[in-house]
Amino acid sequence: MTFIGRITARTGGAEVSKTGHRVLEFRLDGQVSRSMLSEVFAQAVDLLREHPAMDTVVWDCSECTGYEPGTTAVAVRWSREHLTRFTHAVVVTRSHAVRGLAGVGQVMIPWIKVEVVACREDVSAVLQEIHRVGGRSAA
């Protein structure tokens, strides 16, 4: 799968974009604050409204160096409010802490199949496999 086009809204160390027909992607860079994440989530709602076919979310945390207390709660709250439309999530990280959070997310939001990969280069192959066999609109 190749990424087709990119609609991006940049806010500090957090970015949201549409990277393909069915993929919403968050990129978190450096230290992420609750306010950054809240603002990028508001922008994500607009993208979801404009592109209702999205059924996969990518969380690229490969450049994230940390987050302020309470940031995880903001992400979980947004996820529980908005991610019923998603069937899959891909998390990009080498951090054991973020891998652990992905595992907690899988338990808290069981309708989403979570895949964790170590590097950005692995995302395309995972997305190709997801959309070949598992997404809502897969054949």
Sorted by where each begins, the domain ranges of the chain are 7-132
The average confidence (pLDDT) of the chain is 83
Q: Specify the pLDDT at position 59.
A: 93
Architecture in CATH for domain 7-132: 2-Layer Sandwich (3.30)
34-49 pLDDT, tens per residue?
Answer: 888 888 998 999 999 9
For residues 22 and 10, give the distance between their C-alpha atoms in angstroms, rounded to a whole number.
20
User: For residue range 87-109, what is the model confidence (pLDDT) as tens digits?
Assistant: 899 999 999 988 988 888 888 88
pLDDT at 52 over 80: yes
The closest of 36, 41, 112, 48 to 78, measured between CA atoms, is: 41
Instruction: State how far the Cα of 78 lies from the Cα of 37, in Å rounded to an integer.
Output: 10
**Bigger pLDDT: 5 or 30?**
30
The model's pTM: 0.84
pLDDT at 110 over 70: yes
Q: What is the end-to-end Cα distance of the chain in Å, rounded? A: 15
